Amino acid sequence: MAVDKQESVKSLFTAQSAKVDTNRGDAYYEKLYAQCRARLDELKELAPLNNRMDFKESIEDEGLDRRDFLKWASATTAMLMLPASFTPLVADAAVMMNRVPVVWIELSDCAGNTEALIRSDGPKIDEIILDIISLEFNETLLAASGHQAEKQLEDAIEHFKGKYLLFVEGAVPMGMDGQYGTIGASGETFHDHLQRIAKDAAAIVAVGSCATFGGIPAAAPNPTDAKGVMDVVKGKPIINIPACPANPSNMVGVILHYVLTGSIPELDSLLRPKFAFGYRIHDNCERRAHFDAGEYVEEWGDEGAKNNFCLYKVGCKGPMTFNNCSIIRYNEGVNWPVGVGRGCIGCSEPDFWDKYAYERPMANANIKAPTGGVEKTVDEFGLGLLTAAGVGIAIHAAASAVAGKKESEKEA
């Protein structure tokens, strides 16, 4: 795993188009390092909140190779866009991740993000969900049902008041007074359920495209008036990890960052962590050279497809999509949608089902596209693409800078 990833990470820092405020300067990092060190020392003083076993012990118990673990820590450090000198801190933070309780609730969802979480590719740790993250509540995995399940959730909220990270999977249906989804013996609506549990969370992580931007239930015509968490919950720090499903590396990355710094990672204007969503798929795409050379797959299974040509003309939305799939891939780096010859459907972008998720370039869409779209021919669009995307990046970067500034003001 490590080799592929480290190569990818290296290419991240060398690619021309990937220079989005990566290096923040020595002074910044020195200050951050000291802050992280202090935070970790403070955490070390605490017993594990949930008395879970130490990750470190589990490494020793399993006789795992310490080098593998450090390799993972080093790749993760790079993924979090921190200098290599932070690697020991990241390793320490991983050992102390069990100081952060996680409550995970499901609303209008398909459980795809829970499934993604259990594919998490930490170092060779089978028990990531049991040892690394202290998962206090997750409906898909919880032993107890019914009232005992509700009690488990209430206990966790009470016990870790103000300290737990709340992961939310699924959209919030707002139509018909929220009755499109109810949970528990009292028939509480998803909306009320979310508000009640959000109240005492340290921060909320909206995981997957439904919880972030509404996702599939919110696709036109949005029959249940589904919304993302950030449109419903106010007055709490919210981190969005979109994609369908979200990449488990990014979920773990957010938790690690929280352990490491005690604060949420720097976010872009859509509340996405910049370490994961600071670049377009296109920037680090393995087929990028073919795009630049004008070599395209024209239809499925053609000679271009057999030669791994660029997938833009069969609908790849990598140029419009901010995510780190082209760097970290999926399922321990084994493959990803561009690798498998299909292309990107833009699943980490708002309204992607209506804007991007089809197998033609934007111009040939033939979709209802209630949110609009670029109505140009493919050739026109191809010519204007880099410029358009460049403008996109500029807007994105500016918005991110504003968001980042606000964040650092808060921290100061």
In the region spanning residues 252 to 271, those forming contacts with other proteins, defined by CB under 8 A, are: none
Q: Which is nearer to other proteins, 201 or 345 (CB)?
A: 345
CB of 135 to other proteins, least distance (A): 5
Q: Which is nearer to other proteins, 53 or 374 (CB)?
A: 53
Q: Which is nearer to other proteins, 17 or 140 (CB)?
A: 140
Q: Which of residues 368-407 bind other proteins (CB under 8 A)?
A: 368
Binding mask 163-192 for other proteins (x = CB under 8 A): --------x-xxxx--xxxxxxxxx--x--
* 225 contacts other proteins (rule: CB under 8 A): yes
Amino acid at 371: T
Quick one: how far is CA 384 from the chain centroid? 29
Binding mask 87-126 for other proteins (x = CB under 8 A): -------------------x-xxxxxxxxx-xx-x----x
Q: What angle do CA 340, 372, 284 make, to 5 degrees?
A: 35
* Range 227-234 contact pairs with CB under 8 angstroms and sequence separation of 24 or more: 227/171, 227/172, 227/174, 228/171, 228/172, 229/168, 229/172, 229/194, 229/204, 230/206, 230/271, 231/172, 232/172, 232/174, 232/191, 232/194, 232/195, 233/194, 233/195, 233/198, 233/204
> Is the separation of the CB atoms in 312 and 291 below 8 Å?
yes
Residue 41 to residues 3, 36, 53, 134: CA-CA distances in angstroms? 31, 9, 18, 19
Q: Which is nearer to other proteins, 26 or 299 (CB)?
A: 299
* 306 contacts other proteins (rule: CB under 8 A): yes
At 179, list the tokens. 């009755």
d(CA 231, CA 214): 9
> Which residue among 87, 271, 336, 350 contacts other proteins (CB under 8 A)?
336
Q: Which of residues 40-69 bind other proteins (CB under 8 A)?
A: 50-53, 58, 61
At 117, list the tokens. 């979480």
Binding mask 338-367 for other proteins (x = CB under 8 A): -xxxx--x-------x---xxx------xx
Q: Which of residues 234-253 bind other proteins (CB under 8 A)?
A: 244-245
> Which residue among 7, 41, 42, 155 contacts other proteins (CB under 8 A)?
155
Pick from 156, 168, 232, 240: nearest CA to 200 = 156
CB of 286 to other proteins, least distance (A): 11
